[in-house]
Structure 1
Amino acid sequence: MDRDVSRPRVVVGVDGSPSSYAAVRWAVRYAGLVGGVVEAVSAWELPGLYGWSAPAVDIDVDEDEARRRMRQELADVLGADAVGAVRTHVVHGNPADILLRAAEGAEVLVVGSRGRGGFARALLGSVGQHVSQHANCPVVIVRPERQ
């Protein structure tokens, strides 16, 4: 991921959940206040296909299509004008690990309170829990807006 050290970096995790969309909106507002740049990171991993018990499987993921879909989702959330100012990254790997690496040297890491998976009643998702304990920068956890 590109590192522009001349401006504060605001890294935000995006997974398509309502709370990640709220996190993106928060990150854009905050970056505007501090003169920063927003880096939206989406990590993908195929659970159950890795490890000692899983067979070697070659899954062809179209990363260009994933980037296009991410940009469209961000345009829907932020508006076409604002999305141009957001750098997008689609990365293969464990979401918590990817976000921690992306946030190295960042002003702040922003995540939604709960992603798409896991337990619907959990107050804080596993990625938010992990990055809040291990990040080397401040972490902001954003709850979804009420409908």
Structure 2
Amino acid sequence: MADVVKSEGRKIVVAVDGGEESAFALQWCLRNFVSISATTSSPRDTLVLVYARPSPPMYSAMDGTGVLFSSEITASLDKYSRDFADSVMDRAQKICKDYNNVKVDVKVTEGDAREVLCGTVEKIKADVLVMGSHGYGFIKRALIGSASDYCSKNAKCPVVIVKRPAA
């Protein structure tokens, strides 16, 4: 039986969120996945950096405390969120700059990170999802949830969860 050869490289999705854990996971991915292909004649991999911008909260004209929200305040919050997303992606792209053997795509999407990541890997038919672990304990994970735990159970591709060593 002949081996099936892909006409293009792998699609590696890396979750980035501005934290040290995701930066470490991205660096780990570049050293352990991408750098290997640099020594072969295999096609160039595509690294898809995904940042899920939190959905803006819905405010009525007055919140529960009677504070009036103006359109300038909500516009300012949205601008801050967009600027932060740009900063996260700039940092991630700088980490990738020394790896010429990989194509880097950037996706900033609004929504819950768990759903965004699982949706992205399914949509682009990713070969693997790489994400950092914040190392939440049982209680915190139970209260706020864990994106890595959710993705490991629901993503339509293998998931590599990279734990940053303790300092």
Give the TM-score, by structure 1 length.
Answer: 0.72
- The change in CA–CA distance for 1:111 and 1:64 in structure 2 (over 3 A counts) is same
Contact 1:109 1:138 (8 Å CA) reproduced: yes
Number of equivalenced pairs: 134
1:39 counterpart = 2:48: yes
Gaps of at least 5 residues in structure 2 are 1-6, 38-43, 62-68
Mean Cα displacement is larger for which, 89-98 or 14-23? 14-23
Contact 2:53 2:85 (8 Å CA) reproduced: no
Supply the distance in 2 between the matched residues of 1:31 and 1:90 (Cα, whole angstroms). 22
Query: Secondary structure at the residue paired with 1:103?
Result: helix
Higher Cα Rg, which structure: 2
- The change in CA–CA distance for 1:46 and 1:140 in structure 2 (over 3 A counts) is same
Identify the structure with the greater helix proportion: 2
Gaps of at least 5 residues in structure 1 are none
Supply the distance in 1 between the matched residues of 2:19 and 2:82 (Cα, whole angstroms). 21
What displacement does 1:68 show?
3.3
1:1-147 to 2 correspondences below 5 Å = 6-29=8-31, 30-34=33-37, 35-46=44-55, 49=57, 55=60, 59-60=74-75, 61-62=78-79, 65-75=83-93, 78=95, 80-82=97-99, 85-104=103-122, 105-114=125-134, 119=136, 121-122=137-138, 126-147=146-167
Supply the distance in 1 between the matched residues of 2:14 and 2:120 (Cα, whole angstroms). 9
Give the TM-score, by structure 2 length.
Answer: 0.64
Mean Cα displacement is larger for which, 91-100 or 32-41? 32-41
Root mean square deviation, CA, Å: 3.2
Supply the distance in 1 between the matched residues of 2:8 and 2:60 (Cα, whole angstroms). 45
